[in-house]
Amino acid sequence: MPSPRVAQPVLQPVATVSVKLPRKAPVFADETHTQLVRRARKMHKVLTETYPDAHCELDFTNPLELLVATILSAQTTDVMVNKVTPTLFAKYPTAQAYAEADREEMEAILKPTGFFRAKTNSVMKLGQALVDEYDGIVPGKLEELVKLPGTGRKTANVVLGNAFGVPGITVDTHFGRLVRRFGWTTEEDPVKVEHLIGALFPKKDWTMLSHRLIFHGRRRCHAKKPACGACPVAQWCPSYGTGPTDPEAAAKLVKVPA
Protein backbone atom coordinates (compact mmCIF):
# COMPACT_ATOMS: atom_id res chain seq x y z
CA MET A 1 0.00 0.00 0.00
CA PRO A 2 1.48 3.41 -0.95
CA SER A 3 2.17 6.10 1.62
CA PRO A 4 -0.99 8.12 2.44
CA ARG A 5 -1.27 11.71 1.33
CA VAL A 6 -1.10 14.34 4.02
CA ALA A 7 -1.17 18.13 3.95
CA GLN A 8 1.11 19.40 1.18
CA PRO A 9 3.71 22.19 1.29
CA VAL A 10 3.18 25.40 -0.64
CA LEU A 11 3.45 24.69 -4.35
CA GLN A 12 5.85 26.54 -6.59
CA PRO A 13 4.28 28.93 -9.15
CA VAL A 14 3.21 27.10 -12.29
CA ALA A 15 3.05 30.02 -14.71
CA THR A 16 6.76 30.01 -15.56
CA VAL A 17 6.98 26.79 -17.59
CA SER A 18 8.22 26.95 -21.16
CA VAL A 19 5.25 27.31 -23.52
CA LYS A 20 5.35 26.91 -27.31
CA LEU A 21 2.22 28.45 -28.78
CA PRO A 22 0.76 27.67 -32.21
CA ARG A 23 -0.48 30.48 -34.45
CA LYS A 24 -3.89 28.87 -34.60
CA ALA A 25 -5.63 25.81 -33.20
CA PRO A 26 -4.09 22.55 -34.50
CA VAL A 27 -6.46 20.32 -36.43
CA PHE A 28 -6.43 16.58 -35.72
CA ALA A 29 -9.73 15.53 -37.29
CA ASP A 30 -8.11 13.03 -39.63
CA GLU A 31 -5.56 11.53 -37.27
CA THR A 32 -5.38 7.76 -37.01
CA HIS A 33 -5.71 5.93 -33.71
CA THR A 34 -1.95 5.47 -33.64
CA GLN A 35 -1.43 9.21 -34.14
CA LEU A 36 -3.95 9.92 -31.38
CA VAL A 37 -2.07 7.64 -28.99
CA ARG A 38 1.22 9.36 -29.79
CA ARG A 39 -0.25 12.85 -29.38
CA ALA A 40 -2.01 11.97 -26.12
CA ARG A 41 1.15 10.43 -24.66
CA LYS A 42 3.24 13.44 -25.72
CA MET A 43 0.78 15.75 -23.98
CA HIS A 44 0.90 13.58 -20.88
CA LYS A 45 4.71 13.66 -20.93
CA VAL A 46 4.67 17.46 -20.98
CA LEU A 47 2.04 17.61 -18.22
CA THR A 48 4.23 15.27 -16.18
CA GLU A 49 7.08 17.77 -16.49
CA THR A 50 4.76 20.70 -15.75
CA TYR A 51 3.19 19.19 -12.63
CA PRO A 52 5.87 17.02 -11.00
CA ASP A 53 4.08 17.29 -7.66
CA ALA A 54 0.65 16.21 -8.91
CA HIS A 55 -1.18 14.19 -6.28
CA CYS A 56 -4.55 13.53 -4.67
CA GLU A 57 -5.43 16.84 -3.02
CA LEU A 58 -7.59 15.27 -0.33
CA ASP A 59 -5.79 14.69 2.98
CA PHE A 60 -6.01 11.17 4.43
CA THR A 61 -4.03 8.56 6.33
CA ASN A 62 -5.94 5.35 5.48
CA PRO A 63 -8.46 3.97 2.94
CA LEU A 64 -11.48 4.76 5.13
CA GLU A 65 -10.50 8.40 5.46
CA LEU A 66 -9.95 8.74 1.72
CA LEU A 67 -13.26 7.04 0.92
CA VAL A 68 -15.16 9.37 3.24
CA ALA A 69 -13.28 12.47 2.04
CA THR A 70 -14.00 11.62 -1.60
CA ILE A 71 -17.70 11.20 -0.88
CA LEU A 72 -17.69 14.59 0.86
CA SER A 73 -15.93 16.26 -2.08
CA ALA A 74 -19.07 16.18 -4.23
CA GLN A 75 -20.29 19.72 -5.01
CA THR A 76 -17.51 21.36 -3.04
CA THR A 77 -13.73 21.85 -3.14
CA ASP A 78 -10.98 19.64 -1.79
CA VAL A 79 -9.82 22.64 0.23
CA MET A 80 -13.16 22.78 2.03
CA VAL A 81 -13.18 19.04 2.63
CA ASN A 82 -9.68 19.23 4.11
CA LYS A 83 -10.91 21.88 6.54
CA VAL A 84 -13.61 19.67 8.04
CA THR A 85 -12.04 16.21 7.90
CA PRO A 86 -9.55 16.64 10.76
CA THR A 87 -12.48 17.10 13.16
CA LEU A 88 -14.52 14.40 11.44
CA PHE A 89 -11.73 11.81 11.39
CA ALA A 90 -10.83 12.45 15.01
CA LYS A 91 -14.42 11.97 16.14
CA TYR A 92 -15.17 8.99 13.89
CA PRO A 93 -11.97 6.92 13.44
CA THR A 94 -13.70 3.68 12.39
CA ALA A 95 -16.57 2.43 10.26
CA GLN A 96 -18.37 1.44 13.46
CA ALA A 97 -18.10 5.01 14.71
CA TYR A 98 -19.71 6.33 11.52
CA ALA A 99 -22.48 3.76 11.76
CA GLU A 100 -23.26 4.74 15.34
CA ALA A 101 -22.81 8.50 14.89
CA ASP A 102 -25.27 11.06 16.21
CA ARG A 103 -26.82 12.48 13.05
CA GLU A 104 -27.09 16.06 14.29
CA GLU A 105 -23.50 16.12 15.47
CA MET A 106 -22.21 14.84 12.15
CA GLU A 107 -24.41 17.26 10.20
CA ALA A 108 -22.93 20.15 12.18
CA ILE A 109 -19.40 19.06 11.21
CA LEU A 110 -20.27 18.53 7.55
CA LYS A 111 -22.41 21.64 7.07
CA PRO A 112 -19.62 23.72 5.46
CA THR A 113 -19.28 21.16 2.63
CA GLY A 114 -22.85 21.69 1.42
CA PHE A 115 -25.60 19.08 1.00
CA PHE A 116 -24.62 18.07 4.52
CA ARG A 117 -27.78 16.13 5.31
CA ALA A 118 -27.40 13.89 2.26
CA LYS A 119 -23.67 13.48 2.91
CA THR A 120 -24.31 12.60 6.56
CA ASN A 121 -26.79 9.99 5.43
CA SER A 122 -24.31 8.52 2.93
CA VAL A 123 -21.43 8.39 5.41
CA MET A 124 -23.53 6.77 8.15
CA LYS A 125 -24.88 4.19 5.71
CA LEU A 126 -21.36 3.61 4.43
CA GLY A 127 -20.14 2.89 7.94
CA GLN A 128 -22.95 0.43 8.54
CA ALA A 129 -22.39 -1.34 5.22
CA LEU A 130 -18.67 -1.70 5.95
CA VAL A 131 -19.42 -3.14 9.39
CA ASP A 132 -22.07 -5.53 8.10
CA GLU A 133 -20.27 -6.77 4.99
CA TYR A 134 -16.53 -6.23 5.44
CA ASP A 135 -15.88 -6.25 9.19
CA GLY A 136 -15.37 -2.49 9.09
CA ILE A 137 -12.55 -2.68 6.52
CA VAL A 138 -12.67 -0.84 3.18
CA PRO A 139 -12.44 -3.44 0.38
CA GLY A 140 -9.74 -3.08 -2.24
CA LYS A 141 -11.69 -4.22 -5.30
CA LEU A 142 -13.69 -2.05 -7.71
CA GLU A 143 -16.67 -4.40 -7.88
CA GLU A 144 -17.02 -4.31 -4.08
CA LEU A 145 -16.41 -0.58 -3.65
CA VAL A 146 -19.08 0.49 -6.13
CA LYS A 147 -21.72 -1.38 -4.13
CA LEU A 148 -21.10 0.77 -1.06
CA PRO A 149 -23.42 3.72 -0.27
CA GLY A 150 -22.27 6.95 -1.91
CA THR A 151 -19.53 5.21 -3.88
CA GLY A 152 -19.55 5.25 -7.68
CA ARG A 153 -16.76 4.37 -10.12
CA LYS A 154 -15.10 7.78 -9.77
CA THR A 155 -14.88 7.49 -5.99
CA ALA A 156 -13.83 3.85 -6.21
CA ASN A 157 -10.99 4.67 -8.60
CA VAL A 158 -9.77 7.48 -6.34
CA VAL A 159 -9.58 5.05 -3.41
CA LEU A 160 -8.03 2.23 -5.43
CA GLY A 161 -5.39 4.41 -7.03
CA ASN A 162 -4.36 6.40 -3.97
CA ALA A 163 -4.96 4.11 -1.00
CA PHE A 164 -4.34 0.68 -2.55
CA GLY A 165 -1.95 1.39 -5.41
CA VAL A 166 -4.35 -0.13 -7.96
CA PRO A 167 -4.28 1.91 -11.21
CA GLY A 168 -7.52 3.69 -12.01
CA ILE A 169 -8.80 6.63 -14.05
CA THR A 170 -10.81 9.23 -12.16
CA VAL A 171 -13.31 10.86 -14.52
CA ASP A 172 -14.33 13.98 -12.60
CA THR A 173 -15.56 17.20 -14.22
CA HIS A 174 -12.01 18.44 -14.88
CA PHE A 175 -10.83 15.18 -16.42
CA GLY A 176 -13.88 14.85 -18.65
CA ARG A 177 -13.64 18.46 -19.83
CA LEU A 178 -9.95 18.21 -20.67
CA VAL A 179 -10.01 14.93 -22.60
CA ARG A 180 -12.78 16.35 -24.80
CA ARG A 181 -10.93 19.64 -25.28
CA PHE A 182 -7.79 17.73 -26.11
CA GLY A 183 -9.69 15.77 -28.74
CA TRP A 184 -8.88 12.47 -27.08
CA THR A 185 -12.56 11.51 -27.13
CA THR A 186 -15.96 13.07 -27.79
CA GLU A 187 -17.75 10.81 -25.32
CA GLU A 188 -19.72 12.35 -22.46
CA ASP A 189 -20.52 9.19 -20.52
CA PRO A 190 -17.96 8.86 -17.68
CA VAL A 191 -17.68 5.08 -17.92
CA LYS A 192 -17.07 5.20 -21.68
CA VAL A 193 -14.54 8.00 -21.16
CA GLU A 194 -12.76 5.91 -18.54
CA HIS A 195 -12.39 2.94 -20.87
CA LEU A 196 -11.53 4.92 -24.01
CA ILE A 197 -8.84 7.02 -22.33
CA GLY A 198 -7.51 3.99 -20.50
CA ALA A 199 -6.88 2.38 -23.88
CA LEU A 200 -4.56 5.26 -24.88
CA PHE A 201 -2.15 4.82 -21.98
CA PRO A 202 -0.32 2.04 -20.13
CA LYS A 203 -2.31 0.91 -17.11
CA LYS A 204 0.53 1.89 -14.78
CA ASP A 205 0.01 5.55 -15.78
CA TRP A 206 -3.73 5.76 -15.13
CA THR A 207 -3.71 7.13 -11.58
CA MET A 208 -1.08 9.80 -12.21
CA LEU A 209 -2.65 10.70 -15.56
CA SER A 210 -5.82 11.51 -13.63
CA HIS A 211 -3.95 13.68 -11.14
CA ARG A 212 -2.08 15.59 -13.83
CA LEU A 213 -5.17 16.34 -15.89
CA ILE A 214 -7.07 17.41 -12.78
CA PHE A 215 -4.13 19.64 -11.76
CA HIS A 216 -4.12 21.17 -15.25
CA GLY A 217 -7.88 21.67 -15.20
CA ARG A 218 -7.77 23.42 -11.84
CA ARG A 219 -4.75 25.58 -12.62
CA ARG A 220 -4.90 26.41 -16.33
CA CYS A 221 -7.59 24.75 -18.43
CA HIS A 222 -10.55 26.37 -16.68
CA ALA A 223 -14.11 25.63 -17.78
CA LYS A 224 -15.11 29.13 -18.89
CA LYS A 225 -11.80 30.85 -19.62
CA PRO A 226 -8.80 28.56 -20.09
CA ALA A 227 -5.33 30.08 -20.01
CA CYS A 228 -4.46 29.01 -23.58
CA GLY A 229 -1.57 31.44 -23.90
CA ALA A 230 0.10 29.90 -20.84
CA CYS A 231 -0.59 26.26 -21.70
CA PRO A 232 2.37 23.89 -22.11
CA VAL A 233 0.39 21.52 -24.38
CA ALA A 234 -1.16 24.20 -26.60
CA GLN A 235 0.65 23.04 -29.73
CA TRP A 236 -1.12 19.67 -29.57
CA CYS A 237 -4.55 20.96 -28.50
CA PRO A 238 -7.34 21.37 -31.08
CA SER A 239 -9.16 23.70 -28.66
CA TYR A 240 -6.33 26.25 -28.53
CA GLY A 241 -7.91 29.70 -28.67
CA THR A 242 -10.90 28.86 -26.49
CA GLY A 243 -9.35 31.21 -23.95
CA PRO A 244 -6.92 34.15 -24.24
CA THR A 245 -3.85 33.31 -26.34
CA ASP A 246 -1.86 36.38 -25.34
CA PRO A 247 0.78 35.05 -22.90
CA GLU A 248 0.51 38.00 -20.53
CA ALA A 249 -3.29 37.89 -20.38
CA ALA A 250 -3.28 34.11 -20.02
CA ALA A 251 -0.69 34.14 -17.22
CA LYS A 252 -3.11 36.16 -15.09
CA LEU A 253 -5.61 33.30 -15.31
CA VAL A 254 -3.21 30.66 -13.98
CA LYS A 255 -4.13 29.68 -10.43
CA VAL A 256 -1.36 28.90 -7.97
CA PRO A 257 -2.69 27.04 -4.90
CA ALA A 258 -1.34 28.11 -1.53
Establish whether 91 is a catalytic residue: no
Which of 59, 78, 119, 154 does the annotation list as catalytic? Answer: 154
Q: How many whole angstroms from its chain centre is CA 172? A: 6
Nearest to 205 by CA among 176, 153, 170: 170
d(CA 68, CA 89): 9
Establish whether 172 is a catalytic residue: yes
Which of 42, 172, 189, 224 does the annotation list as catalytic? Answer: 172
d(CA 137, CA 126): 11
Nearest to 84 by CA among 61, 62, 64, 114: 114
The amino acid sitting at 91 is: K
Give the catalytic positions in this structure: 154, 172
